[in-house]
């Protein structure tokens, strides 16, 4: 049995789709979801559903009964007080289940930056999560993408209507990227393989070496209109997050994360591409995802 968290999220739904497409003979799938109605009908008909949050130890225990593999993702929640305590709450629930039940393998979404990232808000919290899960002795794979292309979808309206991408990232430094489809595909492949053991990171670094300015040029060409980076300060970023409902602690964590990316460069050009795990380039993603979103 494979348990999937966040099955309606950008990555989780990719994982579920690929597991169900594996066909006859593959392990059954059980999902944890707050609102079962949010599942696509074809998914709801083919999976077991446990309703609730995987931060709840009772819900997670129920979902993992008889399961040997778990896909784990801590969903970003801007209303949370802060990243550290938020991640710890989820992680402690998983540690309890690993200690008391028959979970053998965990595949989790983490981030690049191990050994480099410091004081980096949610990135630091993700890396601490990896260490805590690995310490249980469970067979563990931490999926490590850099900047997710889907982050650009938050700004699709301003790109389309105003020709701007507001960003606090350093505009002329390479930032490596990855599509969520590639994270989901790699996760599913690992979940369907019951032969790997031990603890390892799995980098997912796309083929492009683009700065934010370079990314804006690709977006411009695909959308057929000029798009430029509108440079925000870290203070601007934090203010915008709180204006749209983020807690003070969460906004500060994202501000710290962005500042750390800019200063420490752990998503930068020194990271080699990984074509086996992240084949999707930015132009392809823009053509297949961003342009249809801009037209909708």
Instruction: Determine what percent of the chain is predicted with pLDDT higher than 90.
Output: 91
- Whether residue 23 is contained in a domain is answered as yes
Could you tell me which residues come within 8 angstroms of residue 169 by beta carbon, excluding any fewer than 6 positions away? 175, 212, 258, 261, 262
Phi and psi dihedrals of 164, rounded to 5?
A: -130, 145
Domain for residue 36, yes or no?
A: yes
Residues in the chain, total? 296
Instruction: Report pLDDT digits (tens) over 211-254.
Output: 999 999 999 999 999 999 999 999 999 999 999 999 999 999 99
164 inside domain: no
Domain region containing 103: 2-145+180-203
233 inside domain: no
Cα–Cα distance measured from residue 99 to residue 57, given in angstroms and rounded to the nearest whole number: 12
The CATH number linked to 193 is 3.40.50.720
Number of domains in the chain: 1
The whole-model pTM stands at: 0.95
Mean pLDDT of 14-37: 91
For the stretch 126-165, pLDDT in tens is 999 999 999 999 999 999 999 999 999 999 999 999 999 9
Supply the pLDDT for residue 5. Answer: 97
Report yes or no on 97 lying in a domain.
Answer: yes
Answer whether residue 276 is part of any domain. Answer: no
Domain contains 296? no
State residue 255's pLDDT score: 96
44: Cα separation from own chain's centroid: 23
Contact indicator for 183, 251 with CB cutoff of 8 Å = no
Asked whether the CA dihedral 188, 127, 283, 39 is positive or negative, the reply is positive
In a domain, 112, yes or no: yes
């Amino acid at each position: 049995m494979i348990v999937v968290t966040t099955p309606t999220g950008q990555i989780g739904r990719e994982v579920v789709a690929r597991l169900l497409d594996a066909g006859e003979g593959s392990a059954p799938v059980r999902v944890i979801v707050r609102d079962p109605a949010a599942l696509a009908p074809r998914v709801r008909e083919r999976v077991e559903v446990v309703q609730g949050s995987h931060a709840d130890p009772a819900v997670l225990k129920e979902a993992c009964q008889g399961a040997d593999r778990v896909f784990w993702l801590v969903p970003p929640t801007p209303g949370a007080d802060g990243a550290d305590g938020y991640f710890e709450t989820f992680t402690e629930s998983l540690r309890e289940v690993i200690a008391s039940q028959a979970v053998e393998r965990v595949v989790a979404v983490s981030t690049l930056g191990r050994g480099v990232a410091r004081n980096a808000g949610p990135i630091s919290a993700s890396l601490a999560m990896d260490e805590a899960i690995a310490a249980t002795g469970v067979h563990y794979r931490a999926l490590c993408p850099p900047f997710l292309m889907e982050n650009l979808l938050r700004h699709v309206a301003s790109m389309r209507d105003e020709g701007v991408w507001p960003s606090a990232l350093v505009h002329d430094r390479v930032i490596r990227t990855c599509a969520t489809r590639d994270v989901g595909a790699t996760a599913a492949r690992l979940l369907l393989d019951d032969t790997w053991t031990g603890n390892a990171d799995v980098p997912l670094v796309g083929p492009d070496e683009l700065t934010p300015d370079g990314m804006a040029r690709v977006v411009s060409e695909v959308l057929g209109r000029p798009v430029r980076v509108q440079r925000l300060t870290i203070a601007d970023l934090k203010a915008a997050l709180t204006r749209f409902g983020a807690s003070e602690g969460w906004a500060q964590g994202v501000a710290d994360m962005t500042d750390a990316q800019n200063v420490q460069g752990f998503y930068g050009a020194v990271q080699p591409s990984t074509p086996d795990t992240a084949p999707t380039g930015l132009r392809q993603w823009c053509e297949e995802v961003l342009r249809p979103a801009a037209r909708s």
